[in-house]
Amino acid sequence: MRGLFITATDTGAGKTFVAAIIARTLREQGARVRVCKPVATGAEELSEDTRILAEAAGDGAYAAITPFVFAAPAAPPVAARLAGSALRLDALADAVRRRAAPRALLVVEGVGGLLCPLTERETVADLAAALGLPLVVVARRSLGTLNHTLLTLEVAFSRRLPVAGVVVNETTPVQGPAEETNVEELRRRIGVPLLAVVPHQPDGVPRLCPETSAVDWRRLAEGGDREPNRGAAVYPS
């Protein structure tokens, strides 16, 4: 497979928002795009995240984009258990692989962060490892961004997951010294590319913006910069 795995520092950082922008940008860059969010919780049939991703990719195969949907707004294994079901890592990975197509790039969105429970035993990081796609880490621009991002990268590096880079997403307007300075502080510390800063969009619509359009997502999805640049601040050599 060729593509990107979109993860985040925590829930609410804007994975779907950024994944949709990446899918739209790839299409603008001339690529054929498919999307997949293998599991969604807190939805009866169609997840809003699935709808947003499908619209961004121009792909209406909702059931294939998100084959595992559970009503309870909880971690996937808990939501599955409450529905009398259970998730298996191999089934989730196979569902993603079925979305791959010749000459298409696949944008995969995880759930929660890398250590979010995914099955009764495995986490999102285990799914990322099984798929082998470069990670794009979405970080919410807020107080705590530095810690959350460095912890996420520490997990990725310790598991030898390839990291394409970090996208900082302004879920709210920037205010205060922490938010005003954390982007440059991240650049100094993360040891991987800080790919883009997505400006706050009050209506919540994932539109193309100059910051993300300047990134060569196609090159990253096709395998460019697959190996993490292990910065000393987060991955001592």
- The owner of tokens 């997990």 is 155
What's the N-to-C CA distance of the chain in angstroms?
Answer: 30
Helix count and strand count (H, E) for the chain: 10, 8
Q: Which fold has domain 3-221?
A: Rossmann fold (3.40.50)
pLDDT at 154: 97
Up-side HSE of residue 165: CA atoms within 13 Å toward CB? Answer: 20
The kind and range of the H/E element at 34 are strand 32-36
Is residue 37 among the annotated active site residues?
yes
Token pair of 8, please? 């985040």
pLDDT at 193: 96
Residue 188, CA distances (Å) to 93, 184, 185, 195 in order: 34, 7, 5, 13
pLDDT at 237: 27
pLDDT at 229: 40
Of 142, 207, 208, nearest to 169 (Cα)? 142
- The owner of tokens 């949907």 is 69
Strand partners, 63: none
Domains of the chain by residue range: 3-221
pLDDT at 224: 61
DSSP secondary structure, 47-72, as one string: -HHHHHHHHHHT---HHHH--EEESS
Annotated catalytic residue, options 37, 140, 141, 148: 37
3-state helix, strand, coil in the chain (%, to 5): 40, 20, 45
Pairing of strands 135-140, 3-8: parallel
Token pair of 106, please? 């696949």
CA-only gyration radius of the chain, Å = 17
Per run of 10 residues, the mean pLDDT along the chain (length 237 residues) is 95 94 94 96 93 95 97 97 97 97 95 96 98 97 90 97 96 84 92 95 88 95 58 32
